[in-house]
């Protein structure tokens, strides 16, 4: 009974245990159908193209009569769809052959086979069109036909592949820009070199060296650079032979170093480069860059051999640059110590700088730094006076401001903060004047608010011209004067307009003329007078025409009015209202 029980338990455990999963790495077409289906379902979920291909191959040859067909069919379709999607991604990434290989793995007896073949045909057609556009663009670039290259490049936007739409389009656009820029620079350099002017030839060398090394133009630019460098070197030697060493150095400074040059040419170029580096180390503020430039200049010139024609000049420059380097090292150390921004640091830096003798090449730079450090010490010493003065001035009362001015005046003439102190003193004095004169303006404003403009003007004019509120007071006076003049002259202009509206233009003109120049309404009155004069002249012209017509109709035997009558009576008549 015990043995039977043990056997029964073992049998039940064996029947209910989960079977081990198959090793999908070792799965083949000869494996069991269940194992093949399990592996196909597992590999279908993978993003690997290899797993998707294997999932398709494991379920591709199962017919409708197969017992696992209904379970395998969805796996086959899903794996085929994912495989076609992965092939499409490869095509967009530019791997056309890989995309075609993946798409052709879709079996013949699946619904996606036709879609895969159609996609392959579209991809190949798209690829051929892109290749044709790229070839045409390349030909246009080789022919330097930039408009054609740019216009042809736009045809890539009509393709469906991301490879041609983004990657190749961007690459070709950069190629066009690089080649166009390179050829433009080379043509400009050639135009400069064609002048024959040594200065222009140097500019041509600088411009030609900017041509991109990856461009097609670089091959021709390199030939031009070599030829122009030789010409400029020849000119430099000519200047040196006539004793113009500065002219020779200036001519060859733009020539790039070339180990193939003759020793004399290399020495001249090295000498010119050394001088150019030494010139970069002439800034008033010491820096490690200046030290580096001087050391590089010394290193460049130090290689000139004794047999070189430039040896003596190089040695003279070497002595000066080494002296400069020694002085500059001291000044750089002093400058670093002064960077602590403490009085003792500035004084120590000054002691170091004073050790540079009058005959040394960096004496002027040392003097400049010493003067700067003296000013910094004075700022540190005098800053407390200004700080105390500012604290006093914050109370904004007249005694406090006067005390602040007295504190700031302790900074004597010639000190670094003297100008700043004087600026603050001037501002505080203005503030005192504002405090003293503000009641006057307040009184004037109060009178103006009550309509007493004349009294307000008189009060505001009590502020003198040298006071802080003078300009503000004058603006207020002008505004009140303007208002007062409008109040006085407004009725005159209104009466003149009333007479003009009634037809009495001459009387209106006379009344409006009472408003003199400089008055607020003068311009407005003059505009009205101009209009009325024009209107009156027009009426007079009509009356003269009417009188001429009447005299011609009555004949010459009619009596003619006297001069007095033709003037006075006409004046009276023309002053009558105009109907």
CA distances from 41 to 24, 26, 74 (A): 11, 15, 9
Structure-model confidence comparison of residues 91 and 36, the more confident one? 91
How does residue 46 score in pLDDT terms, banded at 50, 70 and 90? low
pLDDT tens digits for range 264-293: 667 777 777 788 888 888 877 888 888 898
Measured CA to CA, the distance from residue 202 to residue 269 in angstroms comes to: 13
pLDDT for the residue 578: 42
Helices (H), 64-111: 69-92, 96-103
pLDDT for the residue 36: 55
pLDDT for the residue 510: 92
Portion of the chain with pLDDT greater than 90, in percent? 10
Measured CA to CA, the distance from residue 576 to residue 384 in angstroms comes to: 85
Pick the range with the lowest mean pLDDT from 56-70, 317-331, 540-554.
56-70
Measured CA to CA, the distance from residue 392 to residue 410 in angstroms comes to: 15
Mean pLDDT of 104-108: 68
Measured CA to CA, the distance from residue 181 to residue 210 in angstroms comes to: 10
pLDDT for the residue 552: 62
pLDDT for the residue 532: 92
Contact of 245 with 313, CB cutoff 8 Å: yes
Burial-class residue 137 by CB neighbours within 10 Å (0-12, 13-18, 19+).
buried
pLDDT for the residue 575: 42
CA distances from 576 to 503, 535, 570 (A): 7, 14, 10
pLDDT for the residue 568: 34
**Terminal-to-terminal C-alpha distance of the chain:** 149
Question: Tokens at residue 146, please?
Answer: 């930039």
In sequence order, the 6+-apart residues with CB closer than 8 A to the CB of 81 are 112
pLDDT for the residue 530: 92
DSSP classification of residue 286: -
Pick the range with the lowest mean pLDDT from 145-159, 186-200, 228-242, 413-427.
228-242
Pick the range with the lowest mean pLDDT from 47-51, 169-173, 317-321.
47-51
Question: Tokens at residue 317, please?
Answer: 């420059």
Q: Is the pLDDT of residue 529 over 60?
A: yes
Q: How many CA atoms lie within 13 Å of 481's alpha carbon, on the beta-carbon side?
A: 14
Which of 506, 560, 547 shows the shortest CA–CA distance to 529? 506
pLDDT for the residue 556: 44
Provide Rg for the chain, Cα atoms: 51
- This prediction has a pTM of 0.46
What DSSP letter does each residue of 212-275 carry, written as one string?
-TTSTHHHHHHHHHHHHHHHHHHHHHHHHHTT-HHHHHHHHTTSPP-TTS-HHHHHHHHHHHHH
Mean pLDDT of 352-379: 89
How does residue 79 score in pLDDT terms, banded at 50, 70 and 90? low
Mean pLDDT of 400-429: 89
pLDDT tens digits for range 129-144: 888 888 888 998 888 8
pLDDT tens digits for range 439-472: 988 988 898 888 888 888 888 888 888 888 888 8
Mean pLDDT of 422-435: 90
Measured CA to CA, the distance from residue 237 to residue 249 in angstroms comes to: 9
Burial-class residue 204 by CB neighbours within 10 Å (0-12, 13-18, 19+).
buried
pLDDT for the residue 314: 82
How does residue 526 score in pLDDT terms, banded at 50, 70 and 90? very high
pLDDT tens digits for range 296-341: 888 888 888 887 777 888 888 888 889 988 988 999 999 999 988 8
Out of 37-51, 88-102, 108-122, 345-359, give the one with best mean pLDDT.
Answer: 345-359
pLDDT for the residue 569: 32
Tell me if residue 95 falls in helix, strand or coil. coil
How does residue 199 score in pLDDT terms, banded at 50, 70 and 90? confident
pLDDT for the residue 31: 54
Measured CA to CA, the distance from residue 391 to residue 305 in angstroms comes to: 69
pLDDT for the residue 306: 83
pLDDT for the residue 348: 92
How does residue 261 score in pLDDT terms, banded at 50, 70 and 90? low
Structure-model confidence comparison of residues 226 and 332, the more confident one? 332
pLDDT for the residue 99: 80
pLDDT for the residue 24: 55
Enumerate helices (H) and strands (E) in the chain, giving the number of each: 25, 0
Contact of 210 with 186, CB cutoff 8 Å: no
In sequence order, the 6+-apart residues with CB closer than 8 A to the CB of 318 are 298, 301, 302
Over the chain, what is the mean pLDDT? 79
pLDDT for the residue 533: 92
Three-state SS for 494-521 is: HHHHHHHHCCCHHHHHHHHCCCCCCCCC
């Amino acid at each position: 009974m015990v043995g039977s029980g043990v056997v029964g338990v073992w049998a039940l455990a064996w029947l209910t245990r989960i079977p081990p999963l198959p090793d999908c790495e070792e799965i083949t077409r000869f494996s069991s159908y269940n194992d093949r289906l399990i592996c196909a379902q597992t590999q279908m979920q993978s993003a690997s193209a290899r797993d998707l291909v294997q999932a398709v191959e494991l379920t591709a040859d199962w017919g409708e009569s197969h017992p696992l067909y209904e379970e395998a069919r969805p796996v086959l379709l899903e794996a085929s769809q994912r495989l076609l999607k992965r092939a499409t991604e490869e095509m967009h990434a530019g791997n056309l052959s890989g995309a075609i290989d993946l798409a052709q793995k879709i079996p013949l007896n699946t619904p996606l086979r036709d879609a895969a073949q159609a996609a392959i045909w579209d991809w190949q057609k798209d690829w051929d069109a892109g290749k044709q556009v790229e070839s045409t663009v390349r030909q246009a670039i080789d022919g330097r036909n930039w408009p054609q290259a740019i216009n042809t490049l736009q045809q890539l936007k009509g393709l469906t592949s991301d490879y041609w739409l983004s990657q190749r389009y961007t690459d070709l656009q950069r190629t066009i820009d690089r080649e166009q820029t390179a050829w433009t620079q080379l043509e400009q350099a050639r135009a400069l070199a064609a002048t024959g002017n040594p200065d222009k030839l140097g500019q041509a060398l600088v411009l030609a060296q900017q041509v991109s090394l990856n461009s097609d133009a670089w091959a021709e630019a390199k030939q031009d650079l070599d030829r122009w460098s030789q010409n400029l070197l020849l000119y430099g030697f000519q200047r040196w032979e006539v004793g113009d060493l500065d002219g020779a150095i200036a001519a060859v400074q733009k020539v790039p170093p070339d180990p193939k040059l003759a020793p004399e040419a290399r020495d001249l170029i090295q000498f010119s480069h050394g001088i150019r580096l030494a010139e970069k180390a002439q800034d008033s503020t010491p820096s490690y860059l200046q030290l580096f430039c001087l050391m590089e200049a010394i290193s460049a010139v130090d290689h000139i051999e004794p047999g070189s024609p430039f040896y003596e000049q190089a040695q003279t420059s070497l002595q000066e640059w080494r002296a400069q380097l020694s002085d500059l090292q001291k000044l750089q150390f002093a400058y670093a110590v002064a960077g602590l921004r403490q009085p003792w640091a500035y004084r120590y830096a000054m002691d170091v700088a004073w050790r540079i003798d009058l005959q040394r090449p960096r004496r002027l730079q040392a003097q400049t730094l010493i003067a700067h450090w003296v000013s910094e010490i004075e700022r540190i010493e005098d800053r407390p006076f200004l700080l105390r003065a500012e604290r006093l001035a914050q109370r904004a009362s007249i005694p406090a401001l006067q005390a602040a001015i007295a504190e700031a005046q302790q900074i004597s003439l010639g000190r670094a903060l003297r100008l700043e102190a004087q600026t603050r003193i001037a501002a505080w004095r203005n503030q005192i004047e504002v405090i003293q004169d503000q009641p006057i303006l307040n009184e004037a404003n109060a009178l103006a608010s009550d309509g007493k403009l004349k009294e307000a003007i008189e009060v505001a004019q009590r502020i003198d011209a040298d006071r802080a509120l003078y300009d503000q007071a004058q603006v207020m006076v002008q505004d009140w004067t303007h208002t007062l003049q409008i109040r006085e002259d407004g009725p005159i202009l209104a009466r003149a307009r009333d007479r003009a509206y009634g037809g009495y233009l001459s009387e209106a003109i006379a009344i409006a003329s009472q408003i003199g120049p400089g008055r607020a309404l003068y311009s407005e009155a003059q505009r009205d007078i101009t209009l009325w004069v024009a209107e009156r002249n027009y009426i007079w012209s009509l009356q003269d025409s009417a009188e001429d017509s009447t005299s011609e109709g009555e004949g010459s035997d009619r009596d003619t009015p006297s001069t007095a009558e033709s003037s006075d009576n006409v004046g009276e008549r023309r002053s009558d209202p105009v109907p």
